[in-house]
Amino acid sequence: MFNHVLSNINWLHTLVAALAYFALGAIWYSPVLFSPIWVKLNNIDVNKADAKKGIPTMFAISFILMLITTFGLAVLMQILPAIDAIGGIKLGLLLGVCFSSASISINYLYTKKPMMLYVIDCVYHIIGISIASAILAGWH
């Protein structure tokens, strides 16, 4: 069964869903939205010489992780009954809240990070996974 599921993955759709998730992050964590407060809450000194060191690598790894997430969504959608884009959004909300947000919450609980940082990061992943799910479900 699993081989059948893997052979039916549409890699173009999975890639586009990952790109949409990544693009949301570019907007979400930009100066237009949450970058200033996110940087402040993480105590990042952007004036330090090494503050921007390794950013291209971080972006590449982030994209790969989002691609892994969208691949998981694509596999799950092969197993579940067919859903439309609205169903994809609902599935994304469920997975975003129950998996991403809950996992982030565990880490934030022990590191005692500020609540606003938690909200910024969790809502980003909830929306990102919902968008990716909508793309995968709605694009046949």
40-47's contacts with Cβ under 8 Å and 24+ in sequence apart are 41/113, 41/114, 41/116, 41/117, 41/120, 42/117
Q: How many domains does the chain have?
A: 1
Helix 102-111, helix 115-138: angle, nearest 10: 160
Condensed to tens digits (0 to 9), the pLDDT of residues 87-134 reads 999 999 999 999 999 999 999 989 999 999 999 999 999 999 999 999
Looking at residue 81, what DSSP letter applies?
A: P
Residue 70 near residue 20, CB atoms below 8 Å = no
The whole-number pLDDT of residue 1 equals: 63
Angstrom CA distances, 106 to 99, 109, 112, 132, stand at: 11, 5, 10, 24
Domain that holds residue 92: 2-138
In angstroms, the CA 33 to CA 30 distance is 6
Mean pLDDT computed over 3-25 = 91
The whole-number pLDDT of residue 3 equals: 74
Alpha helix locations (H) across the chain?
2-7, 11-28, 35-41, 55-79, 85-95, 102-111, 115-138
Condensed to tens digits (0 to 9), the pLDDT of residues 60-95 reads 999 999 999 999 999 999 888 888 999 999 999 999
The pair of three-digit structure tokens given for residue 108, joined into one six-digit string: 């934030």
